[in-house]
Structure 1
Amino acid sequence: EPADVLGKTSAELAAAGYLTPEGARQREEHYRQAVASGRPVEYEFAGTWAGRPFDVGTTLTPVPGPDGVVRRIVGWSRDLSRRREQERRLAESEANYRAVVEGTSDAIWVAEKEAEGVYRITLANRRTAEMLQQPLGELVGRRIDEVLPPAAAARAIERYRQAEAAGGPIEYENVIERPGSRMEVITHLTPIFDEAGRCVRIIGSARDAAERRKAELALLQAQKLESLGVLAGGIAHDFNNLLTTILGNLYLARTELPPDSPLRESLDDAALAAERGAELVRKLLSFSKPGIAAREPVSLLRLIEETAALVRRTLAPAIQLLIHSDPGDDTVIGEFGSLQQVLLNLLLNARDAMPEGGVIRIRRTTRRIGEDPSWARRGVLPGTYHEVAVADTGTGIPRAILGRIFDPFFTTKGIGKGTGLGLSTALSIIRAHGGWLDVESEEGRGSTFRILLPVAAADEAPGPGPGG
């Protein structure tokens, strides 16, 4: 109540619990400052009342008497708690914004429009500086035409005008060229307008287009595999019927010949060729319908070790085979035999890529796939995946053919040494397991194939069987 505080000194208010001793001391100090200066004094203080924090701003105005001596001070206080909360939230929002801008792998910048065709960079993140190969401190505060070469600046300003004319975001692809480097990027521009409808700034972002190119190639590859799979399946069934007739008649003809007939050798050669054709048909059918024949827990470490044991017998002394598996559960759900076929194919290819010797490394790790459109285009769902990487130090794959190695019937091996179905079938098998197969290679330095397979759910515990 007013009566509880009227007529009381600061010390008495502190004794009554209305002020803290420190608050009372500061209050008296501000009073003395107002009296000594003859001018209003403003100050703020924070405290706690009834268990709740508060912020208060106070103004003390000295009132001099007729003789000029200050004997009275008029004070008024206002609650600043709401303002402080708004300032705190604004600071938090700015901190979050800065963290997002600096943490992203995209280049992000803000360009203020000063006049027609004149834009000045007021904000840029480190990635922007990296793409432009300029120190960050030399970007902020400079005009676009001061940052970019004349031709590039003219193109950028024209795009800014297009965004302004569109009245909303635009996206386009362009090239950032710097001494010794050339980067294709996807640029996104968003114009910001004031209340009068005038464009006041452009918010821009740029992303390396390599990942999109990779995703587009992956989607094209998947579509190609699906269409070729239908065709291959039809051909394989018809060809299988023909081979059945050929092999049957070869068997009958052989039984009619005397044991010492010279024709027996010719018939055996024909039967062997037909059997090879039948094996090719089986590969075609596996490619066209790579479904999982069995769904069982498979230990990837056991799969790797058993497959490596098979391959080691075929390796030259100059080739090393090293295995590493991260600790923890290594279980996937699928078919042991099909997965072994994939891994065996990759290991034999790695062996063939190192005629002079080298090192093959198999490494199992886990990784998290998020809500990334590039993975969604490949049919890979968000979640935790086992990654099995098969790396070699061999000849590598030329860039010109790297995008074709998963094409059916494409092979770099000589005639009679490969059907061109190994990697395409491997990709089909891994896709049937809900995963993906990818490759990175540099000519002369080797290749790394990465298999992604979904981690088995907790309720799909390993049990007895070929892979458990």
Structure 2
Amino acid sequence: MTFRLTRDDRIIAVKIVAVYSLFGGLWIYLSDSILGLLVQNPDTMTRIATFKGFLFIATTAALLYYLIGRYIYRLGESNRQIAASEEDLRSLLELMPVGVAWSDQTGAIKYINHTFTENFGYTISEIPTIDEWFAKAYPDPDYRNEVVAMWSDHIAKYVTNGTPVPPLNVKVTCGDDTVRHIVINTQPSLTRTLVIFTDITDHESQQEELIKKQKLESIGVLAGGIAHDFNNILTAILGNISFAGLFIKPDHKAAVPLLQAEKAAKRAAELAHQLLTFAKGGQPVTSSIAPLQLVEESLALVLHGSNAQSRLDVSEKLHNIEADAGQISQAFNNLIINAIQAMPGGGTITIRAANATIEENNPYELQPGAYVRFVFTDEGCGIPAINLKNIFDPYFTTKSGGSGLGLASVQSIIKKHGGYIGVRSTVGRGTTFELLLPACIESVPDEIPNPAQTRVNSVDSKPGTPVLVMDDEEMILELVEAMLEELGYKATICKNGEEAVSLYKSAFERGTPYSIVIMDLTIPGGLGGKEAAAQILAIDSNACLIVSSGYSNDPIISDFRHFGFAAAAIKPYSVSEISDVLSRLLGSQRHS
């Protein structure tokens, strides 16, 4: 039988042997010498020698008992201390916020802590060996082979060269089939291998959300600029199409193509409006809104002509919401459109609305307070799990001909309102969207304000009514000038705010001020509509000003009266739309 002793164990063994040998040697030498001097009779000598032998055995046995017992006692104390230390270590490991496991030299897993079981859903009986752990944690054979090969290679280098085992980033499949992103740190030793599992899934999710937010902000800047320029171009296209329609009869061969072209231009304008949802500066201008009215209007608009039905489940005394009516309507419209597209064979869209109170440290990451919860549920085909995490990404779509902006716009709108949107879906059963929007508790009127589009009876203009138009786009100036001249107005055009202020001041001092001034909001490198309006109103507090912009989401457009404007003309606009705005304002002036 072979065995290995540690240095301390060898020292103890040598001490015992040395003491035993010294005592035995002295006993034999001294006892024989003394007896030889004192006893001469051989029989007596024999009997004394026999007695001496028994005494030697008894004495050495007692000595060995003492020495070995002392060693065993110290060994037991050491083992007890080791056991206590190991128990303390286990107690400490149980409290650690990371998963910890160790295995022996045969690959048997000897310990896993509570966090390991909690994070991954496996008990030690389910993964008794490293091979069993690999099979469950990495069910895909190719991925498992890749991970095992890297890990084994690192262990081999440690054994051969003492090279520290580097951390390993892996995707671990848990007992409930969820996948966690884990960093594995391994520390081998002579008798066991210690592995620490750090779960960075939440951190990675936060990083992904941060990157996604930064991407959305970048897209927002780009989208805002593109949409603004796009709307300017569309103004020329839509305006000229509608302007051309004035010169042909309804039964003319060109009437239908012109009408279709006008519809296409308006559809392009809707796409530009969705792009503007991402633009910086497109923050909602909120007021207290009755949500039920918004939901009913969206259902009436979107469900018209479809084979889908709706069911409303709204709580009594539903709070108003603090929202931008136009943007929230767009969000509701997109969700309902999405539901209809998911049910090509028909079905029911269920919309529930109820008051909700959100507490501190909530899972929605919302400020605590009063909210209104909306739940949109369809009976459609559902969304596969692989696509579910991407549905709010701009330009992500699985639909033929889809723009990929619908749900991205919804998320952007809800976030800008300080709300929350979440989704859950089951393939073959349907999809549910949950929205939370800040509530407005005060008692307010239920009507949705729409100051920009208040309708009054159309009033024909007097021939030659002077109108000043300011815009930096030459093609828009020429188009609007031609439109106004055809409608009977006398148009004066200019390219920036400085010119507009100068022209208005001169006309005012002559006693012939312009009846209406149409001003573009944004003039690159020049005085824009907001600043020019302030200067004109300083000259004539009764000036009638219209703000015009391709930035339909600009707060000045939504709250134009606050900045001194009488109306807003959102680009792109047709000849009939600009005519209606002018007629309303002139009619208001005459009635006043």
What amino acid does structure 2 have at the position aligned with 1:439?
V
Segments of structure 1 that go 5 or more residues without pairing to the other structure are 1-93
Corresponding residue number in structure 2 for 1:429 = 413
**Residue 233 (1) aligns with residue 233 (2):** no
Distance in 1, Cα, partners of 2:251 & 2:113? 91
Corresponding residue number in structure 1 for 2:272 = 281
Q: TM-score, normalised by structure 2?
A: 0.45
**1:323 pairs with 313, 325, 345, which one?**
313
**Residue 186 (1) aligns with residue 181 (2):** yes
Segments of structure 2 that go 5 or more residues without pairing to the other structure are 1-89, 136-143, 449-592
Q: Secondary structure at the match of 1:462?
A: coil
Corresponding residue number in structure 1 for 2:430 = 446
Task: Tell me how far 1:172 sits from its aligned partner.
Answer: 3.0
Change (3 A) 1:166 1:172: farther
Q: Could you tell me whether the CA contact under 8 Å between 1:358 and 1:393 is conserved in 2?
A: yes
Aligned residue-pair number: 345
Corresponding residue number in structure 1 for 2:338 = 349
Q: Secondary structure at the match of 1:396?
A: coil
Task: Tell me how far 1:337 sits from its aligned partner.
Answer: 3.1
Corresponding residue number in structure 2 for 1:13 = none
Deviates more, 1:253-262 or 1:273-282: 253-262
Greater strand proportion: 1
Task: Tell me how far 1:339 sits from its aligned partner.
Answer: 1.6
Paired residues for 1:318-467 under 5 Å: 319=309, 321-323=311-313, 325=315, 330=319, 332-364=321-353, 370=361, 380-381=365-366, 383=368, 387-399=373-385, 401-415=387-401, 419-453=403-437, 455-456=438-439, 461-466=441-446
Task: Tell me how far 1:122 sits from its aligned partner.
Answer: 5.7
Paired residues for 1:163-312 under 5 Å: 172-176=169-173, 183-187=178-182, 204-205=196-197, 207=199, 209=201, 218-257=209-248, 261-289=252-280, 291-298=282-289, 300=291, 303-304=294-295, 307-308=298-299
Task: Tell me how far 1:237 sits from its aligned partner.
Answer: 2.0
**Residue 121 (1) aligns with residue 111 (2):** yes
Q: Could you tell me whether the CA contact under 8 Å between 1:184 and 1:208 is conserved in 2?
A: no
Change (3 A) 1:271 1:115: closer
Task: Tell me how far 1:265 sits from its aligned partner.
Answer: 4.3
Task: Tell me how far 1:329 sits from its aligned partner.
Answer: 7.1
Q: Could you tell me whether the CA contact under 8 Å between 2:230 and 2:272 is conserved in 1?
A: yes
Change (3 A) 1:433 1:171: farther
Distance in 2, Cα, partners of 1:167 & 1:241? 63
Task: Tell me how far 1:138 sits from its aligned partner.
Answer: 6.3
Q: Could you tell me whether the CA contact under 8 Å between 1:124 and 1:136 is conserved in 2?
A: no
Distance in 2, Cα, partners of 1:396 & 1:452? 22
Change (3 A) 1:137 1:403: closer
Task: Tell me how far 1:121 sits from its aligned partner.
Answer: 0.2
Greater helix proportion: 2
Q: Could you tell me whether the CA contact under 8 Å between 2:182 and 2:198 is conserved in 1?
A: yes
Task: Tell me how far 1:125 sits from its aligned partner.
Answer: 5.6
Deviates more, 1:241-250 or 1:339-348: 241-250
Distance in 2, Cα, partners of 1:301 & 1:331? 9
Distance in 2, Cα, partners of 1:314 & 1:259? 26
Q: Could you tell me whether the CA contact under 8 Å between 2:99 and 2:119 is conserved in 1?
A: no
Deviations 1:198-234 (Å, cap 9, x if unpaired)?
A: 999958456594x667655544543333222222222
Distance in 2, Cα, partners of 1:320 & 1:96? 57
Distance in 2, Cα, partners of 1:172 & 1:234? 41
Deviations 1:47-70 (Å, cap 9, x if unpaired)?
A: xxxxxxxxxxxxxxxxxxxxxxxx
Deviations 1:149-182 (Å, cap 9, x if unpaired)?
A: 698889778889999x99999673233488xx86
Q: Could you tell me whether the CA contact under 8 Å between 1:336 and 1:466 is conserved in 2?
A: no
Deviations 1:64-100 (Å, cap 9, x if unpaired)?
A: xxxxxxxxxxxxxxxxxxxxxxxxxxxxxx99997x8
RMSD between superposed Cα atoms in Å: 5.2
